[in-house]
Amino acid sequence: MPDIIHLLPDAIANQIAAGEVVQRPASVVKELIENSLDAGATQIRLFVKEAGKTLIQIIDNGSGMSETDARMSLERHATSKIRTADDLFRLRTMGFRGEALASIAAVSQFEMKTRQAYADLGTHLIVEGSEVKSQSPVACEKGTNISVKNLFFNIPARRNFLKSNPVEMRHIIEEFQRLALAHPQVAFQLQHDEELIYDLPASKLSQRIVAIFGKSFQEQLAPCQEETSLLKITGYIGRPESARKTRGEQFIFVNQRFIRNNYLNHAVSSAFEGLIPEGNFPFHVLFIEIDPKHIDVNVHPTKTEIKFDDERAVYGVVWAAVKQALGTHNLAPAIDFKADVNLVGKLNQQLTKEQYLDEQFSNSLNRNNLKNWETLFENEPTSKLFQKTKSENTVLRFESSINKTDETEKTEEQGLFQFQQKYIIRASKTGLMIIDQQAAHERVLFERFLARQKGNAGNSQQSLFPQSVTLTASDYALAMEIEQELFALGFRFEIFGKHAVLVTGIPTGVTGTEKELFEGLIEQFKKNQAELQLPVRDNLALALARRAAVKSGQKLLPEEIKAVVEGLFACAKPNFSPDGRPTFFTFETSKIESYFTR
């Protein structure tokens, strides 16, 4: 029987490696910029065409490479950083695996010009799909200039899996932001087609944060610093009021390498507990300096996941550092707002109620019986104890009839009223229906907004005073990506400068300012993207429904109660909210009767 195991050709092996290292254009950007940083560059320029599908070009002023090194850099596992296995535990550079350039050159038309400072001429290499087409001397600037053209040109299936240009550009911007934040001492530029997106001079970290995320962050940053024998933490946290519903602006760097670590992100959020609403995430840019022997970065090909030898200790230091920063800069409230500041008044009111009850029952009940009665009603609001007898039927009154309008009486006659400002109670033939007002209204609005988008030109209410909205580069790219869907929903806006839009109209029937609605919609859309797998139109309809729906705890007028109920049962799927929560529950008559059956 002939032998069947053989070695893969280098070109195929490189393409397989590229599948792990080069997942999309943003992966190329990350690997090439990291190489530039390792080369000691103080200026890095990134040029992108068609979101990296046509061209990704990185020009740096780093140390450059010799002719031999330039050729060797394209071989698999060729690296200048590792000589022995022990070197893996002393790494402080960004790249070290020796896979990046070989993998990128395997799936693109690759061109490199590089020159060292003391050399008269540099080296020019042209490679296509791992095949070196030419290598020649060239006159060029000190440093390295790499062009990656037509990514995945030789693997059509991989190219077909790439997303739209706005989506891929958003990923590039996110990678660029992380690297620019990690190295504020380096000047960065990013140009997409003919548009200069970022021009970041070398600066301090606080200035770099403001340059990337906007001037609104200028007043929102608080320095965070802590040092122990194990590690050192520096960076900035955002004020509690700047917390957002998405995780997008949470950055943790270990030895200047961006990492994904939900455990450490939780340490930050835990330190903010009680200061931000549940489900919101605080802004932070934190740098952890730790001896490389305590971490393992060789866990994942993209090097964004690492292991600590004592993760709990790192968690504790991060939590303490953030907690201290909140206290030092007076970001934590001095008063516990959950406590009732009118406590004395409440006690007096409670005493008055107890005296009243004593008087009512003292003639017929002794003190022990009174305690039994109080136990019976301890979970009921005091207002429900007051009853009025007519003939032999008892009618519960939930408010004084003096304050009722004709509309209120009409609504209650129909068996509709609000309970605890969270639920709507509705009498039905089979019992009592309890409706979650927020979930129900979200369902109503979701189906309404979805229907609008199918018409591709949703009704819009024009603004008397249009508002400008300045977005981050990634949010701006997202807005451009879903521009047609936003128009179908009823938004009207136009480009209004760099990363800014002028909102001139919002969907009809939606309340709120143009700015808060547009910004809130983008935030909710991103949150949905992270949590749910939905088509763009469904996601937008859900995002706007969540922003525009009545909230739990909101008092409703009688006509609003009626509109929610009627709207819900006119829906195609009234039983559940768009994200799957039940909208109502029926308390069957037979169940009610079972409580009173002798």
Chain segment 183-222, per-residue pLDDT in tens:
999 999 999 988 899 999 999 999 999 999 888 888 889 9
CATH of the domain at 25: 3.30.565.10
Residue 390 in any domain: the answer is no
pLDDT tens, residue by residue, 43-91: 999 999 999 999 999 999 999 999 988 988 888 655 554 445 454 455 5
Q: Are residues 147 and 40 in the same domain?
A: yes
Q: How confident is the model at residue 520 (pLDDT cuts 50, 70, 90)?
A: confident
Query: What phi and psi values does residue 546 have, to the nearest 5 degrees?
Result: -65, -35
In order, the DSSP letters of 259-288 are: E--HHHHHHHHHHTTTTS-TT-B--EEEEE
Q: Where among 151, 169, 202 does a domain terminate?
A: 202
Q: Residue 499's domain is classified under what CATH number?
A: 3.30.1540.20
Asked if residue 335 is part of any domain, the answer here is: no
Say how far apart CA 71 and CA 313 lie, in whole Å: 44
Residue 433 sits in which domain range? 398-598
Query: Does 423 share its domain with 548?
Result: yes
Q: 398: pLDDT confidence band, cut at 50, 70 and 90? A: very low
Listed residues 175, 202, 229: the one ending a domain: 202
Identify whether 226 is part of a domain.
yes
Q: What pLDDT, on the 0 to 100 scale, is given for residue 488?
A: 87
How do residues 113-162 score in pLDDT, each as one tens digit?
999 999 999 999 999 988 899 999 999 999 999 999 999 998 888 888 88
Task: Give the mean model confidence (pLDDT) for residues 527-555.
Answer: 85
Between CA 502 and CA 467 the distance in angstroms is 6
Which range (37-46, 109-118, 294-303, 393-402) has the least confidence? 393-402
**3-state secondary structure string across 289-358:** EECHHHEECCCCCCCCCCEECCHHHHHHHHHHHHHHHHHHCCCCCCCCCCCCCCHHHHHHHHHHHHHHHH
Q: Does residue 596 lie in a domain region?
A: yes
Please state the rounded mean pLDDT for residues 155-180: 90
What does the pLDDT read at residue 301?
55
Q: Is the same domain home to 413 and 552?
A: yes
Q: Can you read off the two tokens belonging to residue 92?
A: 């402080």
pLDDT exceeding 90 applies to what percent of the chain?
A: 35
Q: Are 25 and 52 contacting, i.e. CB atoms less than 8 angstroms apart?
A: yes
Please indicate, yes or no, whether residues 317 and 413 belong to a single structural domain of this protein: no
Domain boundary (168, 202, 236) is at: 202
In a domain, 474, yes or no: yes
Are residue 98 and residue 130 in the same domain, yes or no?
A: yes
74 in a structural domain: yes
Shared domain for 160 and 280, answered yes or no, is no
Nearest of 498, 452, 453, 454 to residue 475 by alpha carbon: 498
Q: Provide the pLDDT confidence category of residue 547 given band limits of 50, 70 and 90.
A: confident
Q: What is the pLDDT of residue 368?
A: 44
Counting the structural domains of the chain, the total is: 3
pLDDT band (50, 70, 90) for residue 402: very low
Q: Is the domain of 504 the same as that of 424? A: yes
Tell me what the mean pLDDT of segment 325-340 comes to: 58
Rounded CA separation 494/503 (Å): 7
Residue 354: inside a domain = no
Task: Say yes or no: 486 and 532 in one domain.
Answer: yes
- Give the strand pairing for 231-238 and 221-227: antiparallel
What is the end-to-end Cα distance of the chain in Å, rounded?
87
> By the 8 A CB rule, do 31 and 100 touch?
yes
471, 509: one domain: yes
C-alpha 76/C-alpha 33 separation (Å) is 19
**Which CATH number fits the domain that encloses residue 324?**
3.30.230.10
Q: Mark whether 160 and 229 lie in a shared domain.
A: no
Q: Is residue 101 part of a domain?
A: yes
pTM: 0.68
Across the chain, mean pLDDT equals 80
Together in a domain, 315 and 231: yes
Judgement on whether residues 185 and 217 belong to the same structural domain of the protein: no
